[in-house]
Every structure is written in structure tokens, then in C-alpha cells.
Amino acid sequence: MKDTDTGNLGEKMSDLNIVTDFYSLNVSDGATMQTYVAHPDDDATQPGVIVIQEAFGVNVHIRNVADRLAQQGYVAIAPEIFHRTAEPGFEGSYTDFAGVMPHMQSVTHKGAEMDLRAAHEWLKSKSYVDGSRIAAIGFCMGGRLAFLANSCLPLCAAISFYGGNIPTLLDRVAGLHAPMLFFWGELDKHIGLDQRQQVLQAMKTSGKQYTNVEFSDADHGFFCDVRAAYQPQAARLAWKLSLEFLAMHMGGDATR
């Protein structure tokens, strides 16, 4: 892929060619989970990133995030967290939240941990992945699960985009392995100021390293360019900060 502008994302792509595919992973409870994987098409050993879906599945938006990370030199894996209740390849509609609610409500901490461990182990098993440099990034439901992943996996970094209900996980703060980067939209009625303050206070009290970014003119889902809430300026800055954060804590070139 040549160094070209991607349009309203305002992003320059590297000259890395990437490979994408779907893989089935065995989860420790006996389930089989489909994943989407994107990685640079070269022989270099690269850091890994677990990309965690929104409530709408591993859809074009989540696959695009994985592709963009691969173009920056990361091996990205996006597990289908709804595999216990939905068919492989499930994608919900952004205009039908009721349709994805049963799947989202079926996700348990225990099940999600097993899924995230399976993705983490898959990355570690690959010769082209540096198993000592793995991070997680998640959106909405996945933002919450990125926090969960940081509590149960030896990550180097974790990024949470507008993760809801993180206060229900605050008993895990002391066990966080890596620095956290939080993104929020101040117009987000789903995640109020009280929730955000609870999370940040818990991080401070536990002495955990974190970076907190709030966009005053952004709503829930502002990073997703196929949602009505897409805010291109906030999305562009958040992406740049995310790449810098990953490079800072995992090594690598965030300027690609």
C-alpha cells in the first residue's frame, strides 16, 4: 500500500503491504472463536495488538482498525466476542441496538477473559510476533474489555475508547499490568461524568499510570466513521495519540 491519503480520516498510510485472514481459535472452555487478523507482509518480528469489538461485532469498522494497525507495523487480532451466541461473522446494525443487546448481555467476565487469553496466546505462538510486546485496544463494549484485558493479561499498554460500565471492574484496578489510555466524549450520555470520575479516581488511588483524554465536542462512538456520531477531528487526534501511546510503551515507529 502506497503513501496515500485515506480521505476524511486524514491519515497517511505507510508503504507496508498487509495480509488479512480469518482464523478459528480454540478457547479454554471448549468453544471455537473466529478472529480477524491483519499483519505486515514481511518477515520482521512485530508487536501484537488485540482489537476488541463494539457491541456490533467484528464489522468493517473493527476490521479497518486492525488493518490500520497492521499498516503501522503491528500484528492485529480481533476476536469475535459474541461467538457463544452468534454465528461466525456476525455484524449488528448501528440502527438496531436492540438486535445486539442479547449478545452483549450474554458476555460474562469469565467468558471474555477466556476469549482474550486465547487471542493473546495466539499472538504469542506466532514466530512473527514479539510475545513480550502485546497491547489491547477496544471500543465501547470493547473499551471496557480492554480494561479487563489489562487486568488479566501481561500487556504493555491498553487503550479504551468510551468504555462503558468500567466502574463495575474497579476491583481489578490494583492488578492492572500496563498503562491505560482513556478516550471519552463529553457529549456522551451513555457514560456520564460520574462514571469517568470514578474510573480516574480509582486509577489515582491505586497509583496506576494512565492518560485521560476528553473531547468536549464528541459523542459516544466518535471514532467510528460509519456511525452518525463520527467526529473526524477528534478521531484523527485520538488515532495519532493512540499510535504514540503504543510506540511509547511497546517500542516501534509511530510516525509510519
Could you tell me the three cell numbers for 122? 495466539
Q: Check residue 6 and give its pLDDT.
A: 33
Q: Is the dihedral of CA 39, 44, 50, 54 positive or negative?
A: negative
Q: Is the dihedral of CA 38, 81, 218, 213 positive or negative?
A: negative
pLDDT digits (tens, 9 = 90+) for 220-235: 999 999 999 999 999 9
Task: Report the SS3 class of residue 198.
Answer: helix
Could you tell me the three cell numbers for 47? 508487536
Residue in 158, 145, 118 with CA at minimum distance from that of residue 242: 158
> Is 90 exceeded by the pLDDT of residue 153?
yes
Could you tell me the three cell numbers for 249? 510503551
Q: Check residue 125 and give its pLDDT.
A: 97
Could you tell me the three cell numbers for 125? 505462538
Backbone angles phi, psi at 66, to 5 degrees: -60, -45
Could you tell me the three cell numbers for 142? 470493547
Task: Give the range among 7-11, 30-34, 144-148, 193-197 with minimum mean pLDDT.
Answer: 7-11
CB 162: neighbour CB atoms within 10 A? 28
Which domains are assigned to the chain?
17-250 (3.40.50.1820)
- Let me know if 16 is exposed, middle or buried by CB neighbors in 10 A (0-12, 13-18, 19+): middle
The DSSP annotation for 130-197 comes to EEEEEEEEEETHHHHHHHHHHHHS--SEEEEES-TTGGGGGGGGGG--S-EEEEEETT-SSS-HHHHH
pLDDT digits (tens, 9 = 90+) for 66-96: 999 999 999 999 999 999 999 999 999 999 9
The answer to whether residues 195 and 164 touch, using CB atoms and an 8 Å cutoff, is yes
Active site residues: 140, 188, 220
> Is 60 exceeded by the pLDDT of residue 25?
yes
Q: Check residue 16 and give its pLDDT.
A: 83
**pTM: predicted TM-score of the whole model, two decimal places:** 0.93
Look at 255 and 43; give whichever has higher pLDDT: 43
